[in-house]
Structure formats: structure tokens, C-alpha cells
Structure 1
């Protein structure tokens, strides 16, 4: 009986750690050039794929009525608040990496191939957008 109780205690206390190693949750993205917080993005799982929505804009010059003027797909002229910027990322087999999706940069309207890797126990998320061999990585911070 003691072994069973110990196993239950382990599972209950370890479960939050496992959950944190997923990109699912609320993240603050920080501009890799200026170091300024730009936005908060809510990542959700839907049918095994991750999507991310721009939930809050933190830039000083952000206006609630701003639209995605540079977008060229179905997001063209849609409000930036609530805009889906991450689409179709899936967990890589046998790795704590989510890839295969796309991430939109609403400032230039470009879609980049996406790779997300939780680091530091899930407190941070390395988000890499690339086109071919070229790309850049930002580190997002989990919002508690």
C-alpha cells in the first residue's frame, strides 16, 4: 500500500512539471533586437496541433484598431488583436520540440517555418522562424 501511495504522490507532484514542458499556455514575446516586450501570445492545442493567437499587444505605439495590413492570406486586414499567428505546429516524435507549422510576422506579413522548443523547465520557449536556411530565434517568457 505504501508503494501505491508513493506512486500517486509522485504522479500528482510531477504532473505540473510535465505540463510545463509543452508550449501550451500564455507567452510574452520579447524583441530579439531591442529587448522590449512586444506582445502576449496564447498557445492552445487543437486536435494534436498547436495554434497561437495574439492576445495582448505591449508596444507603446500599439492601437486596438490596428489591422494586419501586410498579411497576404486570409488574415489580410484582420485586427491584430486575436490574430492567429501560429498554425499547425506538431510535436516531433521522441523530442520536446514542436515543428512543421508556420508563424506569421504581422509586421511584414511573412509566414515562416516554425520550430518551438521549451527550455529551462518550460519557463522559456525558443521560437525559431525560418525561410530555407535563413531564420532567427526569439526567446519567449511564460506568463504565470
Structure 2
């Protein structure tokens, strides 16, 4: 009986570490008005928190700094230094999200590299269902208090997320 319990416990623990949360991976963000790709993103866990870094940006040099970010760097931002000197690609603009349930993360932040504004961030994964979601979709919601808006990102391969130009 003890052997069976130990085996089941090992399988359970192994499954937790082997299977990533569905929100993790590569995604492409889209402009809500034009439906054109705006950036590639990599969403990942570090120390039990969720982070997101831009892998490529559309219409800008890939080493472009966030020159429009005139606001001060938030105290809890994961990187030191002025926002206006940070490279857009490779910086964690999404950070410190806590797991609320499988595929749902919140209580973290997102910073708009275009102007430096900080928002409360919530991410929710929606599996393709051939009804409302034709492909795996990540709902990215930024808000200040009760006011916010959502963007819907589409699942991508690493190559697709890095190829946005």
C-alpha cells in the first residue's frame, strides 16, 4: 500500500512539473482596430509568478528602446533603470502575475512600453472551441481600478512570435 501511495504521489508531482500552464508559451498580440499583428510575446513562469516578454515588435527596429515611456519606472518593475532606456524586445513588460486557477493569472502588472503607463493585469486562457474561439486565445486585460480593456492574443510557435516585423 505504501508503494502504491508513493508511486501515485510521484506521478502527481511529476505531472505538475511536466505540464505547463496553458497560458505559457508564445503568443501574438493584435491591434483591435486593424487586426494586424503588433508584437510577438513569450509568457513564462519564474518563481511561481507569470511574466511576459516581447520577442519581436512590428514596424520598429528590434533594438528600439521604449522612448515614449516618459513616466518613472514602477518600484516593483523587474528591471532596474529608466523605462525610456529599456529595449522593447526582451524586457518583461508583464510581471508578477499570481495563479488564480489553471490558465488564469492576475494580481500582477503590465507596463505599456509606448508611454510607461502601468496597469493591473489579468490573463485568461481560452481553448479553441470552434465557436467563440477558433484558435487557442489569451485574453489580456489591463485595468486601472474598475476601468479596463481586453486584447485577444493568438497562440503562436516560437518562430512565428519572433518573426513579427
- The answer, yes or no, to whether TM exceeds 0.5 is yes
Would you tell me which structure has more strand in proportion to its own residues?
1
Report the Cα offset of residue 56 of structure 1.
1.0
Within 5 Å, give how 1:38-77 maps onto structure 2.
38-57=38-57, 59=58, 61-71=59-69, 72-73=72-73, 74=81, 75-77=83-85
Indicate conservation of the 8 Å contact 1:21/1:118, yes or no.
no
Indicate conservation of the 8 Å contact 2:23/2:103, yes or no.
no
Secondary structure, aligned partner of 1:32? coil
- TM normalised by structure 1 equals 0.78
Provide the rounded CA distance (Å) in 1 between the counterparts of 2:108 and 2:51: 9
Counterpart residue number, 2:27: 27
Indicate conservation of the 8 Å contact 1:20/1:123, yes or no.
no
Provide the rounded CA distance (Å) in 1 between the counterparts of 2:89 and 2:141: 22
How many residue pairs align between the two structures? 126
Report the Cα offset of residue 125 of structure 1.
0.4
Report the Cα offset of residue 119 of structure 1.
0.4
Q: Which of 106, 116, 129 is equivalent to 1:99?
A: 106
1:113 aligns with 2:120: yes
Q: 1:101 to 1:47 in 2, by over 3 A?
A: same
Secondary structure, aligned partner of 2:139? strand
Give unmatched runs, 5+ long, in structure 1. 1-10
1:89 aligns with 2:97: yes
Report the Cα offset of residue 120 of structure 1.
2.1
Secondary structure, aligned partner of 1:64? coil
Indicate conservation of the 8 Å contact 1:65/1:79, yes or no.
yes
Counterpart residue number, 1:8: none
Provide the rounded CA distance (Å) in 2 between the counterparts of 1:95 and 1:81: 27
Provide the rounded CA distance (Å) in 2 between the counterparts of 1:39 and 1:96: 21
Structure 1: 4+ residue segments shifted above 4 A: 18-21
Secondary structure, aligned partner of 1:76? helix
Provide the rounded CA distance (Å) in 2 between the counterparts of 1:47 and 1:83: 17
